[in-house]
Structure 1
Amino acid sequence: MKVRAVEFIALSVPLGTGKAYGMSKSLAAGRQSTLVRLTLEDGTAGYGEAWGMPAVNKAYLPFLSGYLEGCDVFDIEHAFGRILARHYHFGLQNGMMHAISGIDVAAKDAQGKLLGLSVARLLGGQRLRHVPIYASGGYMTQTPAADYRPQIERMAEAGHKAVKIKIGLSPASDEERMGIAREVLGDDVEILADINTNYTYDIALEAMERLKPFRPGWIEEPLCPQDLDGYGRLRARASLPIAAGEALYTVHDFKRLVECGGADILQPDLSLCGGFWQGRKIAELAHASHLRLSPHVWGGAVGLAAALHYIASLPVFPHADNIPKPVLLEYDLGDNPLRTELLKSPIIVEGGCIAVPEGPGLGIEIDEEAVARYAVD
């Protein structure tokens, strides 16, 4: 079945005055994403999501469509490989890979609909029906002193068993924020901490030493993604697990991180790393390297659904019946209508888990009224 057309729909939601939130490096005043619709000759439509600035993604569409329109949807990964091989001067860490990522997710959704299979089964078999989550919150805001503790208290009230907080302003601030989180959440909640690449090696090492008494489950992105030597040195000295990978593209980037011994947990984002096409290779790299994996998700509902199917398809080796630390899905607690309103049946958390959407493909149905509400030129 051949691809008839690929469309990119730019989506944007401003958060409003005083509602910006984010990380150590910056705050976000809105949420945006690119919804990908891939239509086959018989009218079957698959949906994906691409990271980054929608205008940049849309600029790549005419170029990519020349390769993809008329391509059999089951052969689309070969088309991607041809694009990267022929246009190697473009590089990989750019909007073209964002666009390819969203197109690949849409193609897998369409394949599943044609075959009557879930994407998880297409990727290697659906092991899970429910995926455990960690709640991603504790954001930086415009008034952090007033806003931080209430965010953590809401996490405690919701009963989340694993959470992630934002740190990275300074080692002293990290210690204070982690101390508040541990005080409010108690000893039994796993607390993950995200620096968002704001430190150099020496500062990261100091911060990790300060945080050790609070037993964080991992320290995420302590260094910038280009500092592979720093990641290797830091992991050799640190006594806390290191997670990284949300800003890495294709299995080649992840291979370099693994080879330098820089991480304990790999974090591919399917909306930028190369979709399921590269995500599957990254999972195999983690498997062969005996490393944990936890995909990064900070987008809309389609990206969240894709991550659910991805996790549901992953093997648990070297574990068997007893899994000490299951793969967790990142569930963003920030205000985001592109996550909560884009589907006719929203993806919701129940009992610390999310049910993998049932049905062929991604198992989701796009709410076209919501798309029209948030679409921008």
Structure 2
Amino acid sequence: MRGDSLKITEVNVVSLKRYFLPSHWGRLLIRVKTDEGFYGYGESGEDSRWGVGEKLLNNWAKEIIIGSDPMEINKILRKIWIHMKHFGRSAIMMGTYAALDFALHDLKARILGVPVYELLGGKFRDRVRVYCDTGRPDLDNPESHLEVIREVRREGFTAVKFDLDVHPREREALGWEPFNDHARNDELKWMMRAVKIIRDFVGDDMELMVDLHGSYNVTSAVKIAKALEPFNLTWLEEPVPAENVDAMREVKISTSTPICSGENLYSRWEFRRLLEKQAVDIIEPDINKCGGLAEGKRIAESADLWYIPVAPHNTSTSVGTIAACHLCASIPNFLSLEWHGGRPPKDHPRYAYWNLIVWDGPVIKDGYITLPKKPGLGFELNEKACLEWNPETEILFR
């Protein structure tokens, strides 16, 4: 039961320093605690190697959070929002802000004894559909990727994504120009071969998505999108860099292949430009990078004005993934949530992906995550597993 003098007394931060995904190293976990022992957990979308998020959270705790009423989430977040205006609401800022948003929602929901999705207006669905990101097919042998697809389908997923962009180092090794963002004919030919192999293997029932990571210029992106039309993709992701909304729209209006973007946009104002210009068919805000649940819900509601579905990007650990599920359950225009999967070897760090939380049974079953009914985000941290991700720490939260 809540006391009249309930106040936030602690904000604890720990860095998870182990690699768990290609190009994604470490995360910050935070715990916000009150004088009566209630607590909430969050995860930052910031790469914890840089240490910026930890410094931000410690500063915010000292100047704003400590002593605040945990029931006043909007008031606390607004104070921090104002505090950020002099520094810009960048990826690091918004990813750190998201960690606090998650923790405050978890904390308040635990105090009230309800799941977090109840704080967001209740749920539209009991299960959240998850699609599996399977990485990129091999350049020399794209057929080998079918083993990954086969395993993913065996696990019950009905939607998969794979990458088609070629890294500049690889382009240079192949004798392709590594800097001008232009796809040569032989590169385009390899892309179509890879997609055909996978589409022929899975048939028409499985949904396929392709990611280009903003790697190409408009001319090449249009050629790629039009060449992919026969394969009935659910979406083509970030064919051009996200910063130029007009360029993204140029690709969108040229093709019947649905265009998706948004993982590198960090607030409702950045999404506003994308939506008002009708530059995409689907948006993919990363809830762990664009400010968390409150900001994510505002972005989703904005997209709903244009009848645009939301398919959140996600490279989080299990903590951020489950937090995102509460948002996905609470918006009508949700499509699917990303999970970087396939079944890795037991000695691979990603094998421990879900071990960071205590959960009843498998988290993902047949391509869905079932919403928890427990208070808060619905899990406890597995502190022993978390410490294995940071061997320099003996106690998770001091």
Question: TM-score surpassing 0.5?
Answer: yes
Q: Secondary structure at the match of 1:262?
A: coil
Pair 1:140–1:6, CA change in 2 (3 A) = farther
Pair 1:117–1:94, CA change in 2 (3 A) = same
Superposed displacement of residue 347, structure 1: 5.1
RMSD over aligned CA atoms reads 2.1
CA distance in 2, matches of 1:5, 1:194: 41
CA distance in 1, matches of 2:337, 2:18: 23
Contact 1:299/1:338 (8 A) holds in 2: no
Q: Secondary structure at the match of 1:89?
A: coil
> Aligned AA for 2:13?
F
CA distance in 2, matches of 1:146, 1:279: 38
Tell me what 1:256 maps to. Answer: 273
Q: Deviations over 1:58-89 (max 9, x none)?
A: 12122211211111122233233233334422
> Aligned AA for 2:354?
T
Tell me what 1:73 maps to. Answer: 70
> Aligned AA for 2:158?
K
Superposed displacement of residue 143, structure 1: 7.9
Task: Say whether residues 1:40 and 2:34 are aligned partners.
Answer: yes
CA distance in 1, matches of 2:143, 2:14: 37
Tell which deviates more after alignment, 242-251 or 127-136: 127-136
Q: 352, 355, 365: which one pairs with 1:341?
A: 355
Task: Say whether residues 1:127 and 2:124 are aligned partners.
Answer: yes
CA distance in 2, matches of 1:233, 1:248: 19
Gaps in structure 1 of 5+ consecutive residues: 16-20, 22-26, 317-325
Q: Secondary structure at the match of 1:46?
A: strand
Q: Deviations over 1:349-368 (max 9, x none)?
A: 22332111220111011101
Tell me what 2:338 maps to. Answer: 330
CA distance in 2, matches of 1:64, 1:151: 43
Q: Secondary structure at the match of 1:4?
A: strand
CA distance in 2, matches of 1:142, 1:64: 46
Tell me what 2:384 maps to. Answer: 369
Contact 2:229/2:255 (8 A) holds in 1: no
Q: Secondary structure at the match of 1:131?
A: strand
CA distance in 1, matches of 2:235, 2:91: 28
Contact 1:138/1:152 (8 A) holds in 2: no
CA distance in 1, matches of 2:109, 2:279: 36
Pair 1:14–1:98, CA change in 2 (3 A) = closer
Structure having the higher Rg: 2
Pair 1:88–1:140, CA change in 2 (3 A) = farther
Q: Secondary structure at the match of 1:52?
A: coil
Name the TM-score, length of structure 1 as normaliser: 0.88
Q: 269, 284, 287: which one pairs with 2:286?
A: 269
CA distance in 2, matches of 1:110, 1:86: 22
Gaps in structure 2 of 5+ consecutive residues: 1-5, 167-186, 345-349, 393-398
Task: Say whether residues 1:64 and 2:60 are aligned partners.
Answer: yes
> Aligned AA for 1:342?
L
Superposed displacement of residue 206, structure 1: 0.8
Q: 355, 365, 373: which one pairs with 1:358?
A: 373
CA distance in 1, matches of 2:317, 2:141: 25
CA distance in 2, matches of 1:8, 1:268: 25
Q: Deviations over 1:239-278 (max 9, x none)?
A: 1111111111111111111122111111111111011120
> Aligned AA for 1:61?
L
CA distance in 2, matches of 1:131, 1:304: 11
> Aligned AA for 2:356?
L
Contact 2:137/2:162 (8 A) holds in 1: no
CA distance in 1, matches of 2:366, 2:83: 48
Pair 1:84–1:193, CA change in 2 (3 A) = same
Task: Say whether residues 1:151 and 2:148 are aligned partners.
Answer: yes
Superposed displacement of residue 172, structure 1: 2.6
CA distance in 1, matches of 2:76, 2:367: 39
Q: 3, 10, 29: which one pairs with 2:15?
A: 10
Contact 1:13/1:337 (8 A) holds in 2: no
Tell me what 1:101 maps to. Answer: 98
Task: Say whether residues 1:89 and 2:86 are aligned partners.
Answer: yes
Q: 91, 110, 114: which one pairs with 2:111?
A: 114
Contact 2:132/2:338 (8 A) holds in 1: yes
Q: Secondary structure at the match of 2:380?
A: coil
Pair 1:303–1:147, CA change in 2 (3 A) = farther
Q: Secondary structure at the match of 2:316?
A: coil
Pair 1:358–1:270, CA change in 2 (3 A) = same
Pair 1:87–1:359, CA change in 2 (3 A) = closer
Superposed displacement of residue 146, structure 1: 7.5
Pair 1:299–1:365, CA change in 2 (3 A) = same
CA distance in 2, matches of 1:165, 1:79: 39
Superposed displacement of residue 337, structure 1: 4.3
Tell me what 1:139 maps to. Answer: 136
Tell me what 2:347 maps to. Answer: none
Tell which deviates more after alignment, 64-73 or 30-39: 30-39
